[in-house]
Amino acid sequence: MSVLLQYLVTGVSRGFLFALLATGFVVIYRVTKVVNFAQGAFVVLGGFIAYSLLGAGVPQGLSEVLAVLASAAIGLLFGVVTLLGRMSTIASLITTIGLALLSEAIAMLVWGTTPLTYSGLSGHDLRFGGIFVQPQYLLLIGVSFVVLASLWLLLDRTYVGKAMTACASNPYAARLTGINVKAMGLLSFAIGGALGGVGGVLIMPLFPITYDSDVNLAILGFAAAIVGSLTSPTLALAGGLIFGIAEELVAGYWSQANETAVALGLMILLLLWQSQRRQQAAKLI
């Protein structure tokens, strides 16, 4: 029982990480219709930058905030490259994959190939239903929750959020109403970068990260985003939690080697189920 609880806590934490990634996919897609496969790179670079700042003696909290800002800047830069000119959706998708590979190469050159980690929130482990939980888990869950909730509010409840949605819904009409479509696209990339950075600095004390962790992270984040059809931040959060928990249960009760495969199998099942539902809805109309 307590073993299961342990897996659940870990799974929920991983789930929030995936949800941060998924929401990055959602924000960028909702504004630009670009699927940004460099999303995982924000986690890796954000985490590594925090690691280096800590190593240079910068206080923990400040290092993490600076790393998130740096990730936002990297996101902005990726946005500039991806939205440069007027690429087709498929061309910009390939561009983001290129950017992911490029940042992997840079991460390897700068930080090497060994997994990196640093200690997170200090303090005693908290006793909770018969298990001990590191405070860092609670920090990850709490901060992610607040970040995701604010982002949902921004996208679904504010005027700027509506304008961001309008950019993807009809870029031509958005321009006619005077919305700066390109600036909104860049803003969405910066937000995507910051979300990845938040994930990176929070997860690194719990799960060491290597330069090439981004691919796996991007795939699982994408899978979670797909649950919300790449447009719903709330469903993306649900998706993140499903994949996080599923991954931990598979790793715990079966084998770690299978965790990603099972998560991806789950994604395919979800996709099939969704398209089935959509077809049925179409029949009703």
Partner 1 sequence: MNGTGAATAPILSVDGLVVRYGAAIALEDVSLEVGRGEMVALIGANGAGKTTLLNTLSGILTPSAGTIRCAGRLAHVPEGRELFFDLCVDDNLRLGAWKASSRDPARIYELFPKLRDLSRRKAGYLSGGEQQMVAIGRALMAGPDVLAIDELSQGLAPIVVQEIGRYLVRLNAETGLSVLLVEQNARLALELCARAYVLETGRVATHGPSALLRDEPAVRSAYLGGHVTT
Stretch that binds partner 1, among 8-16, 55-63, 169-177, 237-245 (CB under 8 A): 169-177
Of the candidate residues 170, 255, 275, 276, the single one contacting partner 1 (CB under 8 A) = 170
Place of tokens 């539902």: 277
Q: Which is nearer to partner 1, 126 or 173 (CB)?
A: 173
**Inter-residue contact 168 to 29 (CB < 8 Å):** yes
Q: Which is nearer to partner 1, 172 or 280 (CB)?
A: 172
Nearest to 18 by CA among 179, 229, 242: 242
Stretch that binds partner 1, among 19-27, 59-67, 158-166, 260-268 (CB under 8 A): 158-166
Q: Which two tokens stand for residue 72?
A: 């936002």
Q: What are phi and psi of 133, to 5 degrees?
A: -120, 130
Least distance CB 177 / partner 1 (angstroms): 5
Q: What are phi and psi of 180, to 5 degrees?
A: -85, 95
Q: Is 159 in the site for partner 1 (CB under 8 A)?
A: yes
**Inter-residue contact 191 to 27 (CB < 8 Å):** yes
Q: Is 153 in the site for partner 1 (CB under 8 A)?
A: no
Least distance CB 52 / partner 1 (angstroms): 41
Q: Which is nearer to partner 1, 109 or 172 (CB)?
A: 172
Q: Is 284 in the site for partner 1 (CB under 8 A)?
A: no
Stretch that binds partner 1, among 34-42, 77-85, 166-174, 254-262 (CB under 8 A): 166-174
Q: Is 163 in the site for partner 1 (CB under 8 A)?
A: yes
Stretch that binds partner 1, among 107-115, 133-141, 156-164, 243-251 (CB under 8 A): 156-164
Q: Which is nearer to partner 1, 200 or 233 (CB)?
A: 233
Looking at beta carbons, which pairs linking 145-151 to residues 24 or more positions away fall under 8 Å?
145/16, 147/20, 147/195, 147/198, 148/16, 148/19, 148/20, 148/23, 148/233, 148/237, 151/23, 151/27, 151/191, 151/195, 151/233
Least distance CB 163 / partner 1 (angstroms): 6
Q: Which two tokens stand for residue 92?
A: 């910009």
Which residues have CB under 8 Å from 231's CB, separation 6+? 26, 29, 30
Question: For the window 173-192, what string marks contact with partner 1 as x by the rule CB under 8 A?
Answer: xxxxxxx-------------
Least distance CB 159 / partner 1 (angstroms): 7
d(CA 280, CA 285): 9
d(CA 28, CA 63): 26
Q: Which is nearer to partner 1, 70 or 155 (CB)?
A: 155
Q: Which is nearer to partner 1, 52 or 165 (CB)?
A: 165
Least distance CB 176 / partner 1 (angstroms): 5
Count Cβ atoms within 10 A of the Cβ of residue 276 and give its class: 0-12 exposed, 13-18 middle, 19 or more buried: exposed
For partner 1, the binding residues (CB under 8 A) are 159, 162-163, 165-166, 168-170, 172-179, 231
